[in-house]
Amino acid sequence: MANTFEVLAEPRRREILDLLRGGERVVGDLADRLALTQPAVSKHLRVLREAGLVDVRQDAQRRWYRLRPEPLLEIESWLTPYRRLWADRLDALERHLDTMPDTPGGKDSP
């Protein structure tokens, strides 16, 4: 089975997850919004479902898909050190800018 990163490498799958953030949707709605065929969307949903990123529930003839955010924790964990790196760099930039004199026409000039 593919890992979360491999599954999300496909842009259409990310688009599907973006749409599912707003709530449950049926395949036909996803296909219309993405301008894809229903079989193409179904294939992407199968991969997302196998990766645990979406759940499906049957309601008569319709299948409703919804986002499962828990597998995204893998990505969140991977990104954490990079967020710290950027936070440290932005803090250093802020400190540097605080030491610079105000320029004419800046926010502190009359």
- Going from the N-terminus, what domains does the chain have, and what CATH number goes with each? 4-69 (1.10.10.10)
DSSP state of 109: -
Measured CA to CA, the distance from residue 51 to residue 27 in angstroms comes to: 18
pLDDT along the chain (110 residues), means of 10: 85 97 96 96 96 94 94 87 86 90 65
List C-alpha distances in Å: 20 to 15, 28, 80, 103: 9, 13, 24, 48
- Following CA atoms 23, 26, 32, 36 in sequence, which dihedral angle do they give, to the nearest 10 degrees? 110
109: CB partners within 8 A, 6+ apart:
102, 103
What is the pTM assigned to this prediction? 0.73
Measured CA to CA, the distance from residue 37 to residue 32 in angstroms comes to: 8
Quick one: pLDDT at residue 105? 63
